[in-house]
Structure 1
């Protein structure tokens, strides 16, 4: 009887704090809200991570650019998803082993990772841009920076070069920037370097949130991150997109992950704590609809025009 009473009290207390987290936690003060997020600047409509892609995404109304950063051999922070130049430029070598002035142009067309049957054909802009250029061009736009490699120089200031943190501070955009990576080690370094810049949940921390939620402990645990960015696992089973023949076992675990992660109560609780929630990478109306049904803050897409059309139609 005592055990049952204690368990009942725990469940009720957990439920109350889940619904009203402000009792235990101060709500995070994120200075912007991003509903429309362009993955790699909109990789389905322009060559990924180029200035042309960023400008197009802004023109159609995106509220955040999701970009990726690497560092050249001579210490310049550039915007590129891959360190290897093979996929994007069709040549051997890595960005980290190349001086900025020697970086090759990107190929004229690239396959879109999250809609594999789609090939994006680029225009005249095939240049790998500097992060500085992005900050200069879009001073008032929220930017989500994925620090791609565990390189201290990419996070810290070193010698005379302006690395990511110094650039963010120089352009006074701590309030408009979120950074991190799927790696907990990289994200922890980002947070330690400058706690005033919002950080993403790493993969390990996302899994921790899910465990804490289903165990009833989530309402009691402080969270230093401000942006909960997760993959919607169900998109992986769209065979018309990826042409991957998953085994029955793999499909089972993907569906299980989808069921556990796509829980409206998790998103609602995090939102009540001031944490923005993003789902990626969604490219169809059906996925947009499903995401917003869960009450997430924003959707990340390769096709910013599609998301704008969907949002305009819903508003109308």
Structure 2
């Protein structure tokens, strides 16, 4: 079972920062999960929310700000004084950090409620430039953007994100115009039957956000492919 650090080791460091990603590397996580948006001047940056107010000392929508404006913000001190000065990273910065590792990368496109025109091409180009096609899974709640990704690069691995309302997604998944690599459900809908049925149809299962070791242990035995967690150290 792979241990995938959710927004980096976000239980111990400010989420989606280079500090959180480096800490997950130090904890020997098997993979990293991150979220991307696009700036006003077309740069792909890493942040969970479309507004910076929760995780920086600024406010405003990412789509309305340039990269220069975003990188003036402090994305670390909200979590703790020792992280003061952490910045919102670019996708290129992140890729440079992990290119020489063997980690699985789960890159989530945050394309709702705002559509970022051209973000698909930029993500595909960045993945290929860093020779990471085999190690990247692109996921999203917006399944249209995944269809656009596979049009650009048919070899890309795609992960379908679901909330709690879709506890039996298999008939839906079979009707999509692309082949999914993995299912990323909320952990509360996952059990042994969910894992077995997904595997029978050729899908890996990576539930989010699993923070309790006791929940994961029996499902690891049942063949769960991985967990997306804020605390990779609890599982390793």
Q: Same fold (TM over 0.5)?
A: yes
Query: Which structure 2 residues correspond to residues 23-38 of structure 1 after superposition, within 5 A?
Result: 35-38=2-5
Query: Is 1:277 the counterpart of 2:205 in the alignment?
Result: yes
Distance 1:94 1:211 in 2: 35
Query: Which structure 2 residues correspond to residues 20-99 of structure 1 after superposition, within 5 A?
Result: 35-99=2-66
Unaligned runs of at least 5 residues, structure 2: none
Q: Would the aligned equivalents of 1:283 and 1:303 in 2 still touch at CA under 8 Å?
A: yes
Post-superposition shift, 1:142?
A: 1.7
Query: Is 1:225 the counterpart of 2:180 in the alignment?
Result: yes
Secondary structure of the equivalent of 2:207?
A: strand
Cα-Cα RMSD: 2.7
Q: Would the aligned equivalents of 2:76 and 2:87 in 1 still touch at CA under 8 Å?
A: no
- Once the two structures are superposed, residues 224-248 of structure 1 have per-residue CA deviations (whole angstroms, 9 ceiling, x without a partner) of 1001111122xxxxxxxxxxxxxxx
Unaligned runs of at least 5 residues, structure 1: 1-33, 111-119, 157-162, 234-260, 309-316
Query: Is 1:127 the counterpart of 2:101 in the alignment?
Result: no
Q: Would the aligned equivalents of 1:180 and 1:186 in 2 still touch at CA under 8 Å?
A: no
Q: Would the aligned equivalents of 2:159 and 2:182 in 1 still touch at CA under 8 Å?
A: yes
Taking structure 1 as reference, are residues 122 and 44 closer, same or farther at Cα in structure 2, changes over 3 Å only?
A: farther
Taking structure 1 as reference, are residues 121 and 59 closer, same or farther at Cα in structure 2, changes over 3 Å only?
A: same
Structure with the greater alpha carbon radius of gyration: 1
The structure 1 segments of at least 4 consecutive aligned residues displaced by more than 6 Å after TM superposition are 220-223
Q: TM-score, normalised by structure 1?
A: 0.65
Query: Is 1:145 the counterpart of 2:107 in the alignment?
Result: yes
Alignment length (residue pairs): 227
Post-superposition shift, 1:262?
A: 2.6
Distance 1:185 1:222 in 2: 10
Q: TM-score, normalised by structure 2?
A: 0.85
Secondary structure of the equivalent of 2:118?
A: helix
Taking structure 1 as reference, are residues 303 and 122 closer, same or farther at Cα in structure 2, changes over 3 Å only?
A: farther
